[in-house]
């Protein structure tokens, strides 16, 4: 028992190191203006890079589970760390937007997503009795990496310039991810019948896609991701244009988002083990709907603006944390990486959808109204959805009851 505890502790430490390295990609906003100043590109064109990164990250999760089956968790994460570091280091030599999109966008995003979902899913498998808490620790480390490297990369940019920063950043991330991978061990899952929720089977991807629950969970996750990711991308602009704040004050909201996003991941992840995962998601969607509606209809000032931003960031972080465990609860642990990879596409699509809706409808407020409606719809789904195996049990039970005699039931 002692050796098992020590092994699991090392796996937690390794996962935290890897996830912190992966989370550094969320410092991309620091690079936009320096790249514009260095190369004369349009700000909007440079900003597209992170959308490409986010989409590639989500797309990679579709293949990560299969790659893990072939290579094993340690080799796959180490290879992802090398690819991630190389992508960033080579970005220091990018002389065109096309090269930047391929290197900092596609390559970095794909490597990041591959290591992210496999290390997260693997750690959850090691702690089936505390899936929410352990998911919060893992995903919280991802957010912490983003928060810490806002200062580290900011220092590098101001001291050495944007191109050299890519080089330094790539070296550090390569060391973190590859180094952390040596502490990882493959989790072995015998059966989902031993999980706390009583699941009787491990669903394959094909079996999962035949259930209505997979699509309903996708809608919820898409809504949660679009709400949080859209806010992250435009939070400073909202403060200036809607709340009337000066640029310096509004910029503080960027740090606020990072802090509450990380806090939400840890707090709501642990809470989900105690009160239930769907209850946590329902509460987060309800709070997000109120906050987004407030941004849409209430005249904003400093405290109202920051309260709404903090609420949305906190709930977004929590939903991102709880959802992998919901997928495990619904469809079993054995194929967690593959199944969650399908649902996780809501992240990539959500990253793009907010900007497209804003461009189509013409601004912040119409987009917030759409988000409010989506949050309400997703809240109804979260309150009513049940795991697929429960539905099957109930259906079979109802079919048998008419054929059972009263004395037979009493005898049982």
Supply 311's token pair.
């609420």
| DSSP code of residue 299 | P
Asked whether the beta carbons of 150 and 1 are under 8 A apart, the reply is no
Q: What angle (nearest 5°) sits at the alpha carbon of residue 337, between those of residues 191 and 13?
A: 90
Confidence of residue 5 (pLDDT cuts 50, 70, 90): low
Supply 361's token pair.
């409808």
In angstroms, the CA 273 to CA 131 distance is 7
Positive or negative torsion for Cα 307, 310, 313, 316: negative
Q: What angle (nearest 5°) sits at the alpha carbon of residue 127, between those of residues 71 and 347?
A: 65
Q: What is the pLDDT of residues 44-90, one digit of tens each?
A: 788 888 888 988 998 999 999 899 999 999 999 999 999 999 999 99
Question: Would you identify the CATH topology of the domain 190-389?
Answer: Growth Hormone; Chain: A; (1.20.1250)
Q: What is the pLDDT of residues 340-388, one digit of tens each?
A: 999 999 988 887 888 788 888 877 889 899 999 999 999 999 999 999 9
Q: Which residues contact 263 (CB under 8 A, 6 or more apart)?
A: 314, 317
Residue ranges of the domains in the chain? 1-188, 190-389
The arithmetic mean of pLDDT across residues 86-112, rounded, is 96
> By CB neighbour count within 10 A (0-12 exposed, 13-18 middle, 19+ buried), where does 42 fall?
exposed
Per the rule left: phi > 0, alpha: psi between -120 and 50, beta: everything else, 171 is alpha
Higher pLDDT, 5 or 348: 348
The pLDDT score that the predictor gives to residue 232 is: 76
Question: Would you identify the CATH topology of the domain 1-188?
Answer: Growth Hormone; Chain: A; (1.20.1250)
pLDDT at 196 over 60: no
Asked whether the beta carbons of 54 and 109 are under 8 A apart, the reply is yes
In angstroms, the CA 161 to CA 31 distance is 10
Confidence of residue 242 (pLDDT cuts 50, 70, 90): confident
pLDDT at 318 over 70: yes
The pLDDT score that the predictor gives to residue 371 is: 94
Residue 199 — φ and ψ, nearest 5°? -60, 140
The arithmetic mean of pLDDT across residues 309-336, rounded, is 91
pTM: 0.78
Domains 1-188 and 190-389 share a fold: yes
């Amino acid at each position: 028992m002692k050796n098992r505890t020590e092994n699991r502790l090392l796996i937690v430490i390794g996962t935290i190191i890897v996830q912190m390295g992966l989370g550094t990609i969320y410092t991309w906003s620091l690079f936009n203006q320096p790249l514009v100043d260095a190369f004369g590109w349009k700000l909007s064109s440079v900003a597209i890079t992170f959308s490409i990164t986010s989409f590639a990250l989500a797309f990679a999760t579709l293949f990560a589970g299969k790659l893990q089956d072939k290579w094993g968790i340690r080799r796959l994460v180490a290879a992802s760390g090398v690819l991630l570091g190389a992508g960033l280091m080579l970005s220091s030599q990018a002389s065109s937007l096309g090269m930047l999109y391929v290197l900092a966008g596609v390559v970095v995003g794909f490597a990041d997503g591959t290591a992210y979902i496999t290390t997260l899913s693997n750690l959850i498998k090691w702690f089936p009795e505390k899936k929410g808490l352990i998911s919060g620790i893992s995903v919280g480390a991802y957010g912490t990496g983003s928060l810490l490297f806002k200062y580290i990369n900011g220092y590098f940019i101001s001291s050495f310039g944007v191109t050299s920063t890519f080089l330094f950043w790539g070296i550090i991330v390569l060391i973190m991810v590859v180094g952390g991978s040596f502490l990882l061990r493959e989790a072995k899952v015998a059966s989902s019948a031993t999980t706390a929720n009583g699941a009787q089977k491990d669903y394959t991807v094909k079996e999962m896609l035949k259930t209505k629950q997979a699509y309903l969970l996708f809608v919820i996750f898409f809504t949660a991701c679009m709400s949080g990711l859209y806010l992250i991308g435009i939070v400073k602009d909202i403060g200036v244009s809607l709340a009337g704040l000066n640029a310096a004050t509004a910029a503080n909201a960027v740090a606020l988002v990072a802090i509450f996003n990380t806090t939400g991941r840890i707090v709501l992840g642990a809470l989900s083990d105690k009160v239930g995962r769907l209850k946590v998601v329902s509460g987060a969607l309800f709070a997000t709907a109120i906050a987004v509606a407030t941004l849409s209809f209430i005249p904003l000032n400093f405290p109202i603006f920051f309260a709404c931003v903090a609420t949305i960031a906190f709930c977004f972080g929590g939903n991102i944390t709880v959802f992998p465990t919901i997928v495990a609860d619904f469809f079993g642990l054995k194929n967690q990486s593959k199944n969650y990879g399908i649902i996780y596409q809501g992240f990539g699509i959500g990253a793009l959808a907010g900007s497209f809706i804003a461009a189509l409808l013409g601004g912040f407020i119409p987009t917030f109204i759409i988000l409010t409606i989506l949050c309400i719809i997703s809240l109804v789904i979260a309150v009513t959805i049940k795991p697929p195996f429960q539905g099957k049990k109930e259906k079979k039970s109802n079919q048998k009851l008419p054929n059972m005699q009263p004395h037979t039931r009493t005898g049982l």
